[in-house]
């Protein structure tokens, strides 16, 4: 075997590695056929069942196995270029929680459409928690107005931008950059990190709220935990994988929401050195890709993968699961991952502390709402199950 080849520990042995002089035919998926399918994750799983965990699609080699996920994500620069270093956002968690609680307390009688309302609440909490601006100050409010319009380039709320900037995602991004500079928060990449934190936390919260609306038992269990000043035992004495011992079930539900929410179909890297996988030799320069979306929807790893089950993240079940089966936190942008997880945990905890969630019935599934007795609060509809709430 060529010493330049790097076999993958645990998946192949030296005797499985290819002879360097042999050309092993690739099993390939025609790109045109791949693009014709709507559900990329399901297509990848079907092709894995037909071709095995390593196959070529166009110029990419697709690797579909939890061990391959860890190979790519844990690499220290030996196989793949190192990611550009990026410092985590400086987050004041106390400020984030305090402002989120205050914003949710402002939700009055009526019907609140979840996504635009939560977009504004998250923006008002994230801006002072990251920049140090006083919550509710003019500068913080202008930044929150700009941030709340951004969700991966789509406008959630149409607002007039400061100084005549257009009411659009582009104008909002310009206003956000100008406001951050004026506030002295001009660290490289801060605009992108703040926008990504807001968009991903909003998506994770929306995913979690929709599933809790359909699972009242889980909703009641989490509500009991967040309302209790003491640590609660988990159902049937199940140990959890959380570290702080507080809001254990909320942590588990957050992990499950991150698994269920839309993930990148492919995460791509370019090999720096030859790599032997099974009967194939991958040359330096080969583009390889793993699939978080397919991994999180794989019934071999997650029985009934579309079912919402936070107990998947109980300690015993986590220990039994293959490393690399849950990679939601790994594929979030490194600077924002802690912010997204913290905002999701705190957001759902304060929502459940104040409101009860329930599906609103047939014909209303085009929007996600919090219904409280009284007049409606206007907002743009989003996809998802409606939820019905009550003020304490």
Give the residue among 387, 92, 371, 348 at the shortest CA–CA distance from 225.
348
- Length of the chain as a residue count: 392
**Residue 367 above 50 pLDDT?**
no
**Residue 216 above 90 pLDDT?**
no
Instruction: Please provide residue 55's backbone torsions phi and psi, each rounded to the nearest 5 degrees.
Output: -150, 165
Which tops the pLDDT comparison, 26 or 382? 26
What pLDDT does residue 172 have?
A: 76
Mean pLDDT of 261-280: 89
**Residue 256 above 90 pLDDT?**
yes
Beta strands of 44-159 (E only): which ranges? 54-57, 60-63, 110-113
What pLDDT does residue 279 have?
A: 79
pLDDT tens digits, residue range 308-352? 999 999 998 999 999 999 999 888 888 889 999 999 999 999 988
**Residues 6 or more apart in contact with residue 229 via CB below 8 angstroms:** none
pLDDT tens digits, residue range 225-254? 998 865 444 343 333 333 344 578 999 999
What pLDDT does residue 191 have?
A: 86
How much of the chain exceeds pLDDT 90, in percent? Answer: 41
Contact of 238 with 368, CB cutoff 8 Å: no
**Residue 391 above 90 pLDDT?**
no
Please provide the average confidence, as pLDDT, over all residues in the chain.
75
Contact of 99 with 154, CB cutoff 8 Å: no
The whole-angstrom separation of Cα 267 and Cα 264 is 7
Instruction: Give buried/exposed letters for 338-371 (b at 16+ CB in 10 A, else e).
Output: bbbbbbbbbbbbbbbebbbbbebeeeeeebbbbb
Give the residue among 332, 304, 368 at the shortest CA–CA distance from 88.
332
101-110, 152-161, 180-189, 333-342: range with highest mean pLDDT:
333-342
Residue bearing tokens 């909490």? 125
pLDDT bucket at 354, cuts 50 / 70 / 90? confident
**Residues 6 or more apart in contact with residue 60 via CB below 8 angstroms:** 266, 268, 287, 288, 289
What pLDDT does residue 32 have?
A: 37
Which tops the pLDDT comparison, 17 or 175? 175
DSSP annotation string for 165-179:
--SSHHHHHHHHHHH
What pLDDT does residue 128 have?
A: 94
What pLDDT does residue 14 have?
A: 30
What pLDDT does residue 151 have?
A: 58
Contact of 118 with 387, CB cutoff 8 Å: no
What pLDDT does residue 18 have?
A: 37
What pLDDT does residue 392 have?
A: 38
Mean pLDDT of 256-265: 91
The whole-angstrom separation of Cα 248 and Cα 242 is 6
DSSP annotation string for 239-271:
-B--SSSSSHHHHHHHHHHHHHS---S-EEEE-
State the CB neighbour count (10 A cutoff) for residue 174.
18
**Which structure tokens are listed for 251?**
């942590």
Mean pLDDT of 41-48: 92
Instruction: Give buried/exposed letters for 265-277 (b at 16+ CB in 10 A, else e).
Output: ebbebebeebbbb
What is the number of helices (H) and of strands (E) in the chain? 14, 10
**Residue 299 above 90 pLDDT?**
yes
pLDDT tens digits, residue range 72-131? 999 988 999 987 655 567 899 999 999 999 998 888 655 667 888 899 999 999 999 999
Quick one: CA torsion of 238, 243, 247, 249, rounded to 10 degrees? -40
Quick one: CA torsion of 380, 96, 311, 258, rounded to 10 degrees? 50
Task: Give the three-class secondary structure for 283.
Answer: coil
Look up the pTM and report it: 0.77
The enclosing H or E element of 275 equals: strand 275-277
CB burial class (10 A; 0-12, 13-18, 19+) of residue 60? middle
What is the Cβ-side half-sphere exposure of residue 282, based on CA atoms within 13 angstroms? 27
Flag the least confident range among 14-18, 102-106, 260-264. Answer: 14-18
Give the residue among 366, 332, 386, 343 at the shortest CA–CA distance from 104.
343
pLDDT bucket at 150, cuts 50 / 70 / 90? confident
């Amino acid at each position: 075997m060529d010493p330049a080849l790097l076999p993958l520990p645990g998946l192949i042995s030296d005797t499985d590695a290819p002879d360097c002089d042999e050309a092993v035919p690739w099993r390939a998926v025609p790109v045109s056929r791949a693009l014709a399918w709507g559900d990329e994750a399901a297509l990848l799983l079907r092709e894995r069942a037909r071709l095995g965990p390593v196959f070529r699609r166009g110029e990419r080699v697709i690797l579909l196995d939890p061990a391959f996920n860890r190979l790519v994500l844990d690499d220290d620069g030996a196989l793949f270029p190192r990611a550009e270093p990026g410092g985590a956002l400086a987050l004041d968690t106390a400020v984030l929680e305090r402002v989120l609680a205050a914003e949710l307390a402002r939700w009055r009688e009526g019907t609140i459409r979840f996504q635009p309302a939560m977009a504004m609440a998250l923006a008002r909490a994230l801006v002072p928690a990251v920049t140090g601006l006083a919550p509710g100050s003019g500068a913080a409010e202008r930044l929150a107005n700009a941030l709340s319009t951004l969700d991966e380039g789509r406008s959630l709320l149409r607002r007039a931008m400061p100084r005549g900037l257009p009411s659009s995602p582009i104008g909002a991004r310009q206003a956000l950059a100008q406001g951050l500079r004026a506030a002295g928060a001009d660290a490289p990449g801060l605009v992108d990190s703040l926008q990504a934190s807001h968009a991903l936390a909003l998506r994770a919260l929306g995913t979690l709220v929709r599933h809790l609306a359909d699972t009242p038992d889980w909703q009641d269990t989490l509500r009991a935990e967040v309302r209790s000043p003491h640590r609660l035992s988990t159902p049937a004495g199940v140990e959890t994988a959380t570290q702080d011992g507080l809001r254990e079930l909320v942590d588990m539900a957050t992990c499950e929401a991150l698994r269920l929410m839309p993930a990148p179909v492919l995460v791509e890297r370019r090999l720096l050195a030859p790599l032997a996988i099974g009967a194939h030799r991958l040359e330096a320069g080969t583009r390889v890709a793993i699939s978080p979306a397919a991994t999180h929807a794989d019934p071999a790893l997650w029985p009934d993968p579309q079912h919402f089950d936070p107990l998947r993240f109980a300690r015993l079940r986590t220990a039994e699961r293959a490393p690399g089966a849950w990679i939601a936190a790994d594929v979030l942008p490194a600077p924002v991952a802690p912010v997204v997880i913290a905002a999701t945990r705190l957001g759902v905890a304060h929502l459940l502390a104040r409101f009860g969630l329930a599906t609103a019935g047939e014909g209303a599934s085009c929007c996600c709402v919090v219904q409280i007795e009284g007049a409606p609060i206007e907002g743009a509809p989003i996809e998802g199950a409606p939820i019905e709430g009550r003020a304490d």
